[in-house]
Amino acid sequence: VINKLCANAAEAVADIFDGALLLIGGFGAAGSPVELIHALIDQGAKGLTIVGNNTGSGHVGLASLIKHGRVARMICSFPRTANSTGFQDKYANGEIELELVPQGTLAERICAGGAGIAAFYTPAGAGTSLAHGKEVRRFDDRECVLEHGLTADFALIKCLRCDRYGNLIYNKTARNFAPIMATAARTTIVQTQSYVSAGEFDPEVIVTPGLYVDRIVTIPEPLQESTLVAAGAVYP
Amino acid sequence: VSDRKLNGIGWSREAIARNIANDLPDGAVVNLGIGMPEKVVECIPEGREVLFHTENGLLGMGPSFGRHDPELINAGKNPVTAVPGAAYFHHADSFAMVRGGHIDICVLGAMQVSQTGDLANWSMGEQDAAPAVGGAMDLVAGVRTIFVAMTHCSRAGEHKLLRACTLPLTGRGVVSRIYTDLATIVVGQHGFEVLKLAPGVCRTYLQERTGAELIFSHEHQEGARRG
């Protein structure tokens, strides 16, 4: 019998090890798996490499994970938010490494990793300083940069609805990186607002097929990162 | 900025957004970047259908109308709505639309633009401050027509429209048009061609605030004071 359900977020993230590479979903606060990240903070793993679009906001979620010194390296496209200096402070002090990647390249690298594609050529970033040290090749008189696929040890993502097989449906622009991240991690952990039995979803509307999902945690009323930040919340 | 406000010179941020919106053709698919471009979604003239794309996975973005759904936001992380007929998709799909040439026009902010259309909008070149590129490099690589919305000069009064950019580039020869608080400018074969001067702005005033030679032969006559 297929059973991916975990009792709680702590159980779901228990085996994340020091130095692990994690994909964390979200674009700004939308789609950020706050409960899973907080469980990871409690769990204590350090020396992590995090792949995500941003570096969190306020004093909760990813921003807090960074502030508490658990992250050694960020692979992201936009490490800047109006209400958080967590990453910027660490970066200025040389306490965190940054691999800056154009957003579309970041998405395609995750997509490629999940699909077993080792690398690809993209025109994005060609001729800029972000292409330094990378292989460049011309196709149809267009300069393109070789970018490598990204795979990870774990993915932490959030969805709206999930069935017993791990088929996922998302909410609006909270979808963002989650469907591709689910494909590119050895262990994909999802927090879902509702959990239903297999067969409840119309197969035509499933966004992430269940084989990509390894662990499911039900969080019926998830914290919204933007609400927490607006309220000045601090975790832990 | 303050002395200009006192003198009533130039366009407001809303007026810049309106200038851009007026130039978007009916039926266009338009990506909006962070900052000033976000306002364009509120300014589409009545009767014109423009489909807005936002990099974070929505085609058919509409103004927020004061609503705030934390899971329905734009590239600048500000609340928006989805128009009837809108579609959500994941990030790789969103950037396939961008790089694959499926978006007609993109409106971006800028730190500097050169007279040959080079764009610098991601790094101040500082050692200890982390740069942030977002989707800008993918957008300029994949979208044929790039409009820029920006203030004509920096807060300190430095030129931002230049012969050549001094900051790290986002893309080379990519900008088609520049919409500033002082003028609307086309990046043409021979450099910056002024299309429209803002209220109260004369040619001399604009040239003094521009780091490259301006071409005035394409200028519209309406509302412009000569100088």
Tens-place pLDDT, residues B177-188? 999 999 999 999
pLDDT of residue B218: 84
User: What's the gap in Å between the CA of A1 and the closest CA on chain B?
Assistant: 30
CB < 8 Å to B92, chain A:
107-108, 110-111, 180
B90 contacts A180? CB cut-off 8 A: yes
Contacts of residue B208, defined as CB under 8 A and 6 or more positions apart, other chains included, come to none
Annotated catalytic residue: which of B55, B71, B208, B222?
Answer: B55
Among the partner residues A98, A104, A171, nearest to B138 by beta-carbon distance? A104
Calpha distance A61→A227 (Å, rounded): 12
pLDDT of residue B221: 55
pLDDT of residue A67: 96
Which of A122-131, A144-153, A203-212, B124-133 shows the lowest mean pLDDT across its residues?
B124-133
User: What's the gap in Å between the CA of B122 and the closest CA on chain A?
Assistant: 9
**Average confidence (pLDDT) over A227-232:** 94
B142 contacts A111? CB cut-off 8 A: no
pLDDT of residue A144: 98
Q: Look up residue B42 and give its amino acid.
A: E
- The token pair at A220 is 């019926």
User: What's the gap in Å between the CA of B127 and the closest CA on chain A?
Assistant: 8
> Which residue from B189, B74, B176, B183 is spatially nearest to B119, judged by alpha carbons?
B176
A98 contacts B72? CB cut-off 8 A: no
| B224 pLDDT higher than 60 | no
> Which of the four pLDDT bands, split at 50, 70 and 90, describes residue B37?
very high
Among the partner residues A92, A128, A226, nearest to B170 by beta-carbon distance? A128
> How high is the mean pLDDT of chain B?
94
> Which residue from B212, B85, B65 is spatially nearest to B152, judged by alpha carbons?
B212
pLDDT of residue A54: 97
Which of A111-125, A165-179, B119-133 shows the lowest mean pLDDT across its residues?
B119-133
Interface of B with A (CB under 8 A): 54-58, 69-73, 77, 82, 88-92, 94-95, 98-99, 123, 128-138, 141-142, 168-172
CB < 8 Å to B137, chain A:
102, 104-105, 124-125, 128, 130
Q: Look up residue B151 and give its amino acid.
A: T
Q: Compute the count of residue pairs across chains A and B with CB atoms less than 8 Å apart.
A: 145
Instruction: Write the pLDDT tens digit of every residue in A62-94.
Output: 999 999 999 999 999 999 887 878 899 999 999
Percent of chain B with pLDDT over 70: 94
A110 contacts B92? CB cut-off 8 A: yes
B56 contacts A172? CB cut-off 8 A: no
pLDDT of residue A127: 95
**Average confidence (pLDDT) over B79-99:** 98
Q: Which residue of A has its CA nearest to B120?
A: A128
Instruction: Write the pLDDT tens digit of every residue in A27-36.
Output: 999 999 999 9
> Which of the four pLDDT bands, split at 50, 70 and 90, describes residue B222?
low
The residue with greater pLDDT, A21 or B3, is A21
pLDDT of residue B7: 64
> How high is the mean pLDDT of chain A?
97
Instruction: Write the pLDDT tens digit of every residue in B110-158.
Output: 999 999 999 999 999 888 789 999 999 999 999 999 999 999 999 999 9
SS (H, E, C) A25-81: CCECCECCCHHHHHHHHHHCCCCEEEECCCCCCCECHHHHHHHCCCEEEEEECCCCE
- Is B38 labeled as catalytic in the residue annotation? no
pLDDT of residue A170: 98
| B1 pLDDT higher than 60 | no
Q: Could you give the strand order of the β-sheet that contains B29-32, starting from the edge strand earlier in sequence?
A: B81-88, B58-62, B51-54, B29-32, B105-109, B145-149, B175-179, B183-188, B191-197, B214-215
CB < 8 Å to B94, chain A:
104, 107
**Average confidence (pLDDT) over B162-175:** 97
Percent of chain A with pLDDT over 70: 100
| B5 pLDDT higher than 80 | no
What is the per-residue DSSP string for chain A? ----B-SSHHHHHTTPPTT-EEEE--BTTBT--HHHHHHHHHHT--SEEEE-SS---TBSHHHHHHHTT-EEEEEES---BTTB-HHHHHHHTT-SEEEE--HHHHHHHHHHHHHT--EEEESTTTTSGGGTTS-EEEETTEEEEEEE---EEEEEEEEEEEETT--EE--GGG-TTHHHHHHHEEEEEEEEEEEE-TT-S-GGG-SB-GGG--EEEE-SSPPPHHHHHHTT-B--
Task: Provide the 10 A C-beta neighbour count for residue B101.
Answer: 11
